Structure 1
Amino acid sequence: MSAGWGFGGWFGGGAASRKEAPKKAILSLRAQLEMLSKREKHLENQINEQDGIARKYVSTNKNAAKAALRRKKQFEHALDQTQGQIMSLEREIHSIETANINKETLEAMKNASKAMKEIHGGLTIDKVDQTMEDLREQHAIGEEIGEAITQSIATPGYDETELEDELEALQQEALDDKLMQTGHVPKDRVDALPTAPEGVKGKATAVTEDDEEEELRKLQAEMAM
């Protein structure tokens, strides 16, 4: 291959010329390949033509037939050479394209490596470990501060037994009110209730009996349904 294809540009000149060198080489090879392809078709036509002439004169003019076959052989030899050149050019184009792809891929990987180095900067494993340790310490301090704040605003201490006694008294009071309303007061609760005057006591008894009658009528009505 001649130096006119631009391979020298890979080894000299600036970065722009080196980048353009593969493109120029491929364009030159493709132009030559196109010319050889046209020559290939021309030779194939010539071979077919001479074969036709030889067939035409094979019985009537042997000399003409032999001359046609001789020319056919020459064209076939030229065709073999042309096809060999085409294969060589195609192989070179493929090699340059592959080499250029490899070069561009390597450049991209170098750029990626450079970017990673810039991102990491002076970062090291020790610095990362120290940063994580600082974060853990700050989280622990935050937890302690939160607990201290919560304790400072918490409800003052109290006696749990005192609360239970007060709750039990409230429950008993509510039960007594309910029993008074229904008129059903257990004997043990009657003794505990305060003694009412005679007139009030009789009135309360009458109210209780009326309530009992009312409950009885309700029960009878429910059973009749």
Structure 2
Amino acid sequence: MSKISKLFNGSSSSSASKSKHHRSKGGPSPQEAIHRLRETEEMLTKKQEYLEKRIDQEITTAKKHGTKNKRAALQALKKKKRLEQQLTQIDGTLSTIEFQREALENSHTNTEVLKNMGYAAKAMKQVHQNIDVDKIDDLMQDITEQQDVAQEISEAISRPFGEQFDEDELLAELEELEQQELEDKMKRMGGLPSVPSSKLPSTHPKQQGTTRRRVEEEDDMHMLASWAT
């Protein structure tokens, strides 16, 4: 007995036993149906390989006889045509079975998804059954009030203690102290010398440098005096 025959016979006996079992249960499960379809696909694929080999053999036979033995060559080509027809039929059957299997797999997946979603919905209902929806607003209001209290406490804790002074008054007092310090410094220096109105006589370069420094110092003193008054 060939492997294909064994497969058909095995499938038939298995199908009979499973059909009897399923009749008692009311029908096969999706997993069992998918498994059966996969077995059928595997069987047809093997038959495809067998037919392809037979077709190659008939082509070889036709080439071997050729015009020398037309009758044998034509007979081989006729067999090849019949085998090709069977191969085409199997291709169509495989496409149909594949479509059915994919549809069944998708249906099974969708069923499992819906089942799990329903299970999750029941869990959510179980969680929410002890929650009073009418009290949610009161609860949120209490939370807001407690947050406001916590904010007030934080501000009170961070507020500095002790006497508070006006910063503008302190800055004004600082300016007065600086002005007084400048006036005291000017008094210690003996006041500002008068600036001569006539043109200074020409001097040697060394004397000119000394005179220039003296003039710059006098300018600085004059500027300080204008700030002090």
* TM-score bracket for this pair, using the shorter chain length: 0.5 to 0.7
Identity score, percent: 11
The question of whether the paired residues in 1 share the 8 Å contact of 2:34 and 2:105 is answered with no
CA distance in 1: counterparts of 2:185 and 2:88, whole angstroms? 127
Measure how far apart 1:109 and its partner are.
1.3
Deviation at 1:205, TM superposition (A): 10
CA contact (8 A) 1:11 1:18 kept: no
Of the candidates 19, 22, 39, which is equivalent to residue 54 of structure 2? 39
Instruction: Tell me whether 1:210 sits opposite 2:190 in the alignment.
Output: yes
- CA positional deviation for 1:117: 1.4
Task: Describe how 1:49-198 pairs up with structure 2 within 5 A.
Answer: 49-53=64-68, 68-121=69-122, 123=124, 137-151=138-152, 154=156, 166-183=166-183
Kept after mapping to 2: 8 A contact 1:5/1:25: no
CA displacement at 1:172 relative to structure 2:
3.5
Post-superposition Cα deviations, 1:42-81, rounded to whole Å, max 9, x if no partner, equal 211222223241xxxxxxxxxxxxxx22333322222211
One-letter amino acid of the counterpart of residue 29, structure 1:
L
Residue 24 of structure 1 deviates from its aligned partner by 2.4
Q: CA RMSD in A?
A: 4.2
User: Per-residue deviation at 1:133?
Assistant: 7.9
Mean CA deviation greater in 145-154 or 37-46: 145-154
**TM-score normalized by the length of structure 2:** 0.57
8 Å Cα contact 1:44/1:79 also seen in 2: yes
Report the CA distance shift for 1:36/1:148 in structure 2 as closer, same or farther (over 3 A): closer
Any idea what SS the aligned residue of 1:210 has?
Answer: coil
Unpaired runs of at least 5, structure 2: 23-28, 194-215, 224-229
**Deviation by residue 1:85-110 (Cα, 9 ceiling, x = unmatched):** 11111221222222112211211111
1:171 Cα deviation from its structure 2 partner: 3.6
Contact 1:26 1:96 in 2 (8 A): yes
Q: Which moved more, 1:70-79 or 1:15-24?
A: 15-24
Distance across 1 between alignment mates of 2:54 and 2:110: 43
2:56 alignment partner AA: K
Question: CA, structure 1 residues 88+218, in 2 after alignment: closer, same or farther (shift >3 Å)?
Answer: farther
- Structure with higher RCO (Cα < 8 A, 6+ apart): 2
**What amino acid maps onto 2:51 in structure 1?**
L
Q: Which residue of 2 aligns with 1:48?
A: 63
* Ranges in structure 1 where 5+ consecutive residues have no aligned partner: 54-67, 157-162, 184-203
Change over 3 Å in CA distance of 1:70–1:218 after alignment to 2: farther
Give the total of aligned pairs: 176
Could you tell me how far apart the structure 2 residues matched to 1:205 and 1:73 are?
A: 135
Report the alpha carbon displacement of residue 111 of structure 1 after superposing the two structures with TM.
0.9
For 1:43, the aligned partner's letter is E
Task: Judge conservation of contact 2:61–2:76 (CA < 8 Å) in 1.
Answer: yes
Alignment partners' CA distance in 2, 1:146 and 1:96: 65
